Amino acid sequence: MPNFRLYLAIAAVCASLSARAQHPNDQMEELVVTATHSTRTIDVTNALVISPDVAQLLKEAPGASVNSNGPLTGIPQYRGMYGPRIATAIDGNQLAPSGPNWMDPPISYVAAAQLASLEVYRGIVPVSVAQESIGGAIDARVEKGSFGDHSDFDLNGRVMSSVQSVNGGYNLNTSLYASNDQHRLKLAALTESGDNAAFPGGQILPTQYRRDRYDVGYGFRSGPHTLQLDYGNSDTGQTGTPALPMDIRYIRGDLYNLGYRFEADPDTAVELALYGSELRHSMDNYHLRQAPASPADWRRNTARSDNAGFRLQATRDDATGTWRAGTDGFDSTHDSDIDNPNNPMFFVVNFNSAERRVLGAYLERQQELGADWKTEFGLRYNRVSMDAGKVDGTPAQMMPPAQMLRDEFNNARRSQNDDNIDLFAKTWLQTGANSSWYLGLARKNRSPSYQERYLWLPLEATGGLADGYTYTGNIELDPETSNQVEFGLDYASGPLTLSPRLFYNRVDNYIQGTPSESAPAVMFVAMMNRMNGTDNPPPLQFNNVDARLYGFDMDWALQLDQSWALSGIVNYVRGERDDIDDNLYRIAPPNATLRLGYARAGWSASVEGVVYAAQNQVSATNDEQKTSGYGIVNLSATWQATTDLQLAAGVDNVFDREYRDHLNGYNRAANPDIARGERLPGYGINAFARAIYRF
């Protein structure tokens, strides 16, 4: 695990910074589905959460979607950007997946049953929120319990269980809390599993899953000091990922966090976090799916990721606003080795100690310019350092093209450094009692991922792109630079609220797979096709291109009377290449959600319609398939049976509609119901029920 000495040294230099304590949501464009339009968070405390994939909750936020590669492998997408372009944190802490194909995206290390809230920063993200947020930011906040008001200990807890029909899935979560005015203790355990999911035409193979999770946390508070220690252990068992070339055998992770907060006075606070994770991962192409006919084609990949980070932030209020200053660092090291259990002589060192280190510092200001005008602006500097060890593999010892690729990589200057500066400014102008206009500008950067830089042999270890192409990396990649502008309105008058946003995002040096100009890479794929009788397309290489993304999103709500309410979301995004006439890959089509809800004392019910347009604007470079439009209907109801017991039930896809979600990947597993290369269908009709008991 990367050591903390460098991080602690930087923290010590900045420890004297003073700042003012402020509620973390002030003036921030977070999506709070259940609250006001200026500070919105998806509050899942009582949300009807059935899916084991927390990423599915993001669809409750305007602009957000999910690239789904499996039942636990949802990769967030926001306004057309996805994967490492979106900063995803757990309680403010980063995590780099262990899998080179993102079978375990960061958000998968959060169990929905243990969430307190899911914060999705809308549009331009303040520089204090994340190191690299070129495509947005998400923060999953886990329930920790609360301190009491007196010295006597109180004991309470919650048991939550759910079942669903589409895959025979179940979830059981128990949380226990003990606290007084100085101490709080949390113990939590979760188990969940499901079988292969059904759709109107049969089953989606393999989509079974299994996961266990254990957490312990302790908090101490004395005067202005608060200390929090947390440990989590996540154990994912055999789980399908039909859009990828392999399935999960296991993903095991230990997550650590130490947080400290000092409130020097009512206007000043300093916060420090030290955190890390040790993640271990194995995958193969023969356990859950039909094994390759030839024993020579069996593959197993063993991967690991060791992560360590720190955050030190100081805030201070004055008469007209707030200053926020801080420094942060995150270091991740990745290893990935491929073998064949039928051939002890076969091996590929896919990634060898591929390290990515980011050290940053920032300054941010929130300023009141008058009773009706406020602004927020900030500056961040990041130093991104990357390196990787030498590689090798059986193909490089037997095939001249692979040998050339290995030697070229090993002889290259693999150590790379980027110096990135981010700027942003946002302003809100209250133009009346009911409306506030918004304008935001930003320049954001992202350095390449280790896959984009250090993938040396044509493989599909591409961070979950799931387009069926093999790729090689490019050590000389430049950082992506995004120039963003967004404009919008927040309106609330009587029963009606709405919050539309227009956005435009030009990305220079966008990292995209383009047809490889590496003769050895092209020759290697051609030779493998001849040897195996396959027809895999020529490889792509990660290169810098120019791109633009633009569109519109809005959420709205209309209270019809004391019991009835309408609400909805509208999303539209276009992603285009600027260097050639082509579209960006895997962009969500236009879509809308309309929900009619009814609530009375003790119970509520809703009917929801979800509509997606056809997606014809697809990437020719990635040979992307078009998809047809569709619509589904969902029903749900909740009953507060007693003060301590809540019951809920519902049906998703009521009419058992067969459809293809454009952000689902293509089928890679043998299945009599779905052809190889066909886009994976959405789930069929799904009846579900959930119970929560508090004590």
pLDDT band at 27 (very low <50, low <70, confident <90, very high): very low
Task: State both tokens at 342.
Answer: 């039928």
- How far from 388 is each of 98, 182, 449, CA to CA, in Å? 16, 46, 12
What's the confidence (pLDDT) of residue 681? Answer: 98
7 vs 430, residue with greater confidence:
430
**99 within domain boundaries:** no
Residue-wise DSSP of 214-257: EEEEEEEEETTEEEEEEEEEEEE-SB--TTSSSEEEEEEEEEEE
Residue-wise DSSP of 143-160: P-----SSSS-EEEEEEE
- Averaged over 605-633, what is the pLDDT? 98
Question: How many domains would you assign to the chain?
Answer: 1
What's the confidence (pLDDT) of residue 7? Answer: 33
User: Range with the lowest mean pLDDT among 37-51, 70-84, 253-267?
Assistant: 37-51
Domain extent for 25:
5-17+19-30+121-694
Q: In which element (H, E) is residue 452 found? A: helix 450-454
Residues 402 and 386 sit within 8 Å (Cβ to Cβ): no
Distance of CA 559 to the CA centre of its chain: 32
What's the confidence (pLDDT) of residue 48? Answer: 76
CA distance 77 to 149: 41
- Residue 484, classed as helix, strand or coil, is strand
The DSSP letter of residue 30 is B
- How far from 348 is each of 362, 391, 404, 483, CA to CA, in Å? 41, 8, 15, 39
In the chain, the N- to C-terminal Cα span, in Å, equals 39
Tens digit of each residue's pLDDT (9 = 90 or more) over 299-339: 999 999 999 999 999 999 999 999 999 999 999 999 999 99
CA distance 247 to 196: 13
Residues 134 and 431 sit within 8 Å (Cβ to Cβ): no
**130 within domain boundaries:** yes
CA distance 96 to 9: 23
Tens digit of each residue's pLDDT (9 = 90 or more) over 140-177: 999 999 999 999 999 999 999 999 999 999 999 999 99
Task: State both tokens at 665.
Answer: 């990947």
What's the confidence (pLDDT) of residue 412? Answer: 98
What's the confidence (pLDDT) of residue 45? Answer: 57
pLDDT band at 43 (very low <50, low <70, confident <90, very high): low
pLDDT at position 587 over 80: yes
CA distance 61 to 17: 35
E strands present in 521-672: 540-559, 564-577, 591-600, 603-612, 630-640, 645-652
- Averaged over 83-106, what is the pLDDT? 96
Share of the chain above pLDDT 90, in %: 90
Widest CA span in the chain: 75
Task: State both tokens at 7.
Answer: 């991080």
Phi, psi of 589 (to 5 degrees): -75, 165
pLDDT at position 10 over 50: no
* H-type alpha helices, 500-626: 519-532
The DSSP letter of residue 114 is G
pLDDT at position 104 over 70: yes
**87 within domain boundaries:** no
Cis omega (within 30 of 0) for bond into 206: yes
What's the confidence (pLDDT) of residue 301? Answer: 98
What's the confidence (pLDDT) of residue 118? Answer: 87
Sheet holding 64-68, edge to edge: 64-68, 74-78, 81-82
Residue whose pair of structure tokens reads 């949501």 in the numeric block:
25
Q: How many CB atoms lie within 10 A of CB 537?
A: 14
CA distance 257 to 273: 7
Q: Supply the pTM of this predicted model.
A: 0.93
Residues 161 and 170 sit within 8 Å (Cβ to Cβ): yes
Angle at which helices 519-532 and 400-411 cross, to 10°: 150
Tens digit of each residue's pLDDT (9 = 90 or more) over 527-550: 999 998 999 999 999 999 999 999
Q: How many CB atoms lie within 10 A of CB 506?
A: 16
What's the half-sphere exposure (Cβ side, CA atoms, 13 Å) at 341? 13
pLDDT at position 8 over 50: no
What length does the chain have? 695
Distance of CA 620 to the CA centre of its chain: 26
**108 within domain boundaries:** no
What's the confidence (pLDDT) of residue 114? Answer: 87
- Averaged over 553-558, what is the pLDDT? 95
- Averaged over 480-496, what is the pLDDT? 96
**59 within domain boundaries:** no
Nearest CA among 493, 450, 135, 471 for reference residue 303? 450
Residues 477 and 543 sit within 8 Å (Cβ to Cβ): yes
Task: State both tokens at 674.
Answer: 């779905």
- Averaged over 9-20, what is the pLDDT? 33
Residue 547 bridge partners (DSSP): 507, 577
Q: Indicate which CATH number applies to the domain containing 291.
A: 2.40.170.20
Task: State both tokens at 369.
Answer: 């310019």
pLDDT band at 40 (very low <50, low <70, confident <90, very high): low
- How far from 640 is each of 47, 143, 174, 636, CA to CA, in Å? 13, 21, 19, 14
- How far from 366 is each of 489, 525, 565, CA to CA, in Å? 19, 54, 35
pLDDT at position 41 over 70: no
The DSSP letter of residue 38 is S
**253 within domain boundaries:** yes
CA distance 373 to 426: 11
**292 within domain boundaries:** yes
CA distance 683 to 651: 12
Mean pLDDT of the residues in the chain: 93
- Averaged over 378-384, what is the pLDDT? 98
Residues 62 and 554 sit within 8 Å (Cβ to Cβ): yes
User: Range with the lowest mean pLDDT among 15-24, 93-102, 244-253, 371-380?
Assistant: 15-24
CA distance 238 to 243: 15
**79 within domain boundaries:** no
